[in-house]
Amino acid sequence: MYSTHVFLIVKVLSYLIVSFLVAIALSPILIKLLYKYKAWKKKPKEKSIGGYDTPIFQKFHAQKEMSVPRMGGILIWATVLIVSLLDFILVKFLPQPLGDKINFLSRSQTWLPLFTLISASILGLVDDIMTVKDNGKYVSGGMRFKTRLGLIFLIGLVGAWWFHYKLGWNTIYIPFHGNVFIDGWYLLLFILTMFATFSSGVVDGLDGLSAGVLMPIFAAFGVIAYSRGLYDLTTFIIIIVGALITYLWFNVPPAKFYMGETGILGLTAVLAVIAFLTNSVLLLPVIGMVLVIESLSVIIQLTSKKLRHGKKVFLAAPIHHHFEAKGWSESQITMRFWIISAVFSGLGLILYFLSRFLV
């Protein structure tokens, strides 16, 4: 048993390094292409969702939006895809049982998250291309908001169908209580969670913010996956973390690129899938507390403006722009959000293990 766990830990760490190195090799190619084709906005965002002016955003970020390319998120999902293909090829050529031992692609654990990551990321890529070309009807270019929601609904529906009908999931784990049978309501819960994580994509707004916030969240779910014996899923999550580390290397100030929808959309969508695969979706709001706060700040701001005749709760939303308006430096906001994300990810892990121990 001890030797098995040693091998599994070595396997997971090896894939972390491989992911990092693949992403490092891809980075200069991607950066060159993004700058060659000027993959940035041609004019700054002037309106927010709801059609409201964005003076604070324009003050701090208008120039960077028109000089730093989007679509840096390609680095993340392309790395995951390449490592997955390398794994598939190696399994075919390596002798058994070694091939099976290093393989992490499995129907029950990694097919769905891989599909979700790639499909949502490609959807985001289309949106980014439309934004860069200044096409579309969204406030900052790109797809209509209703179109985005419809496509996310379809991805969520496929995921919900796979979980409920192909994998046979019909219960949800309630911390400190146990599994509760919800049958067909599982489909609705899955789709609503997909929408919730989609709304948290607003966290991609400052240099280094999104990757630094998301890394401890994914790492926490990696620990949960390992504790549940989901070793293939653990490896998949760690590959994402390795790609995020490299992305952060090039995204810290001054950023070489921004994640864009092709990064944040894929990552938030796959996060929902991972939360369900580890049967810990009710801990997602705790582990992903920064994402919750960011999303709620936008909802509160828009609701206030709508119901209070334009009056705001925050100086700007999402909330990281509020702190910018109050005079915090970009690095202060980013690093403090990293710390908060790490603390709540740790708290989520504590609650998870306590609930498993006490129930």
Q: Are 270 and 239 in contact (CB under 8 A)?
A: no
List the Cα angle 46/52/55 in 5-degree steps. Answer: 50
Q: In terms of Cα–Cα distance, which of 336, 341, 340, 220 is closest to 271?
A: 220
Task: Report pLDDT for 48.
Answer: 56
- Quick one: residue 183, left, alpha or beta (phi over 0 = left, psi -120 to 50 = alpha)? left
What are the Cα distances from residue 318, in Å, to 74, 212, 330, 354? 24, 17, 14, 33
Task: Report pLDDT for 222.
Answer: 97
DSSP state of 280: -
Q: Write the DSSP string, 124-172.
A: HHHHHHHHHTT-BSSBTBBS-HHHHHHHHHHHHHHHHHIIIIIS---EE
Spatial separation of the C-alpha atoms in residues 208 and 338, rounded to whole Å = 9
Q: Is 180 helix (H, G, I), strand (E, B) or coil?
A: strand
Task: Report pLDDT for 45.
Answer: 63
Q: Are 117 and 266 in contact (CB under 8 A)?
A: yes
pLDDT in tens, the chain (359 residues): 667 889 899 999 999 999 999 999 999 999 999 999 998 887 766 555 555 556 666 665 667 777 889 999 999 999 999 999 999 998 888 888 877 888 999 988 999 999 999 999 999 999 999 888 877 666 556 777 788 889 899 999 999 998 888 888 889 999 988 899 998 899 999 999 999 998 888 888 788 999 999 999 999 999 999 999 999 999 999 999 999 999 999 999 888 999 999 999 999 999 999 999 999 999 999 999 999 999 999 999 889 988 888 788 998 889 988 998 888 998 999 999 999 999 999 999 999 999 988 76
> pTM, whole model, 2 decimals?
0.93
